[in-house]
Chain A
Amino acid sequence: MADLSAGEAAPSGALARLLRRKMALFGLAIIALVVAGAVFAPWIAPFAPNDQMFDGLTLEGAPMPPGGKFLMGTDLLGRDLFSRLLYGAQTSLVIGVVANGLALVIGTLVGITAGFFRGWIGGILMRFTDLMMAFPALLLAICLAAIFQPSLWIVALVIALVNWVQTARVIYTETSSLATRDFIAAERTLGASTSRILFRHILPHLLPTIIVWGTLGISTTVLLEATLSFLGIGVQPPTASWGNIIFENQTYFQTAPWLVFIPGAAIILLALAFNLVGDALRDVLDPTQRGRD
């Protein structure tokens, strides 16, 4: 029978500990909300996202501010912003989570390998990273735009292929420092295998960095998708994405601020939500933090 003394009234699994944190719950709730919005958009959205409505514009042809029929206002073509935001969540989730996540994984793998093993393997990996950093990604995007049918997945691929480099550099530097620490040497003496050292001892120390880059990366990749769509790969108008709603309306931010600030707030909230969850997860997995709930 489990000893329920010492004031521990609740079960002590990692998941349970995670869910006990208010911030994590808040973050998870936001993510769930966005996912729900994306999945159920056809049912929730009051209007069709690409429908240019006659009464969506004022007589002079200006967009309508939030209020009345249009919950979040309309855009320059008279389309409902709220509906576009819901449908756009699909694109932004794929980019922010999948593309960004993939870039994160690749970058971390390359960085850890190069930083831990060093020598010629580390050298090759890091020079390859340099090459990819100097690579003219914009040109690649334009070329791909001409060759392939523009699609969300191509843009996600380009982002993943290009965005991993910065994470790799930073992880490499940190791993180089960690790999020389005493406790790693101690583990080696104890006969721990390389993979055990990497995953149980080095990776946890890299988690904070991974979380920072992963969550901030959501914002930058969503905005990057807008730039790439502008060049022709990625989603074509009239398909909405949070990034391209901002991008196509940014010169109008003084006359129609809702077109920039509302999608902007959505991006910030999503990134923050992941950050809250990530932070809580890290605290929960960090052995030095156990028992401090």
Chain B
Amino acid sequence: MAAYLIRRLVQAVLILLGVSFITFFLLYVLPADPVRQIAGRSATAQTVENIREQLGLDRPFVVQYARYLGALVQGDMGRSYLQKTEVAELILSRLPATLLLMVAAIFCELVLGLTMGIVAALWRGRAVDQTLMITSFVTVSAPQFVVSLLLLYVFAVKLGWFPIGGYGTFAHLVLPAVTLGILGSGWYSRMMRSSMIDVLRADYIRTARAKGLTRVRIVLRHALPNAILPIIAMIGIDIGVFMGGIVVVESVFGWPGIGQLAWQAIQRVDIPIIMGVTLVSACAIVLGNLLADLIAPFIDPRIRLR
């Protein structure tokens, strides 16, 4: 186990290195000039060249990349071109909000998705199943902006049950988490359903039924643990996705997450922030997948870590 972990962590570092290189390269070949963004529209050619030199952006690619890596290993992610604030500070200030939303959203997705999936599997072929299937497709196909705004409008503006966006209390968390939960539940419910159907057909389930075990017990103790394996993989994926931030939901609910930071940075070609956010998100993706792989053998003991 320890050897496996070490191997995975080494691989993780290599992956991060790869991502940093690719991202840096893409930003380098990007035709949009970051210096022009910093210098603004009224700058003289002299000012532009001066800024370029100050930021070291006139050096060749390899030199720039080496300098960036060198600073990174010392914990320095650089300073934003446009804000002059340290990237680490900018990201850390938004990380708690992102983490909180991620945990709450995954929780909602699971509660909604797994319930719908199990119900659909148990009453397969009936009207309930059809309705839940249509619901899944509707939620997956719905544009995030529209759903977020609809929920905000109904529950916060009209009914007044929740604050109209913002951050700070549990009440502020409910709507964005539920929105993300609804939007993502379709995947979980469909996968759970198909996984459950597969499991429910197995012989050992028939044995359990023959033994006279109650339905609930069969589902919860015998079927669910076996059906849940692909869900674990999906949670790992979700961790990675949410840590990158969901800019649409964040901006509608005024949630100070990383998504807004990243989106603005991309529009303005603020390279240090883009690099920082990409690396943080890459870390989360690698860790999320690693966690999923580590948990898998506990769910299905036949899977061995190798």
Which residues of A are at the interface with B, using a C-beta cutoff of 8 A? Answer: 118-119, 122-123, 126-127, 129-131, 133-136, 138-140, 142-143, 146-147, 166, 169-170, 172-174, 176-177, 180-181, 205, 208-209, 211-212, 215-216, 219-220, 223, 246-247, 250-251, 253-254, 260, 264, 267-268, 271-272, 275, 288
Between-chain CB contacts (< 8 Å), 27 pairs: A127-B14, A134-B15, A136-B22, A139-B30, A142-B30, A142-B266, A143-B26, A169-B236, A169-B289, A170-B191, A170-B234, A173-B296, A176-B296, A176-B303, A208-B197, A209-B194, A212-B194, A215-B137, A216-B186, A219-B137, A219-B141, A246-B143, A264-B143, A271-B140, A272-B133, A272-B134, A275-B133
Rank and list the top 5 A-B pairs by shortest CB-CB distance, nearest first: A134-B282, A208-B194, A219-B141, A180-B302, A173-B233
Contacts of B278 in A (CB 8 A): 134, 136, 139
Q: How far is the CB of A138 from chain B (nearest CB, A)?
A: 6
Q: How far is the CB of A115 from chain B (nearest CB, A)?
A: 9
In chain B, residues 72-128, which have Cβ atoms closer than 8 Å to a Cβ of chain A? none
- Report whether A223 and B143 are in contact in the complex, using a CB–CB cutoff of 8 Å: yes
Q: How far is the CB of B173 from chain A (nearest CB, A)?
A: 24
- Report whether A174 and B15 are in contact in the complex, using a CB–CB cutoff of 8 Å: no
Question: Of B15, B142, B146, B230, which one neighbours A170 at CB under 8 angstroms?
Answer: B230
B198 contacts the other chain (CB 8 A): yes
- Report whether A216 and B22 are in contact in the complex, using a CB–CB cutoff of 8 Å: no
Contacts of A147 in B (CB 8 A): 31
- Report whether B145 and A271 are in contact in the complex, using a CB–CB cutoff of 8 Å: no
- Report whether B146 and A250 are in contact in the complex, using a CB–CB cutoff of 8 Å: yes
Given contacts A119-B306, A127-B15, A169-B236, contact A216 B190 (CB under 8 A): yes
- Report whether A251 and B145 are in contact in the complex, using a CB–CB cutoff of 8 Å: yes
Given contacts A209-B194, A271-B137, contact A130 B143 (CB under 8 A): no
- Report whether A130 and B229 are in contact in the complex, using a CB–CB cutoff of 8 Å: no
Contacts of A267 in B (CB 8 A): 141
Cα A176 to Cα B229 in complex, Å, equals 10
Contacts of B230 in A (CB 8 A): 170, 173-174, 209
- Report whether A139 and B23 are in contact in the complex, using a CB–CB cutoff of 8 Å: yes
Cα A180 to Cα B303 in complex, Å, equals 7
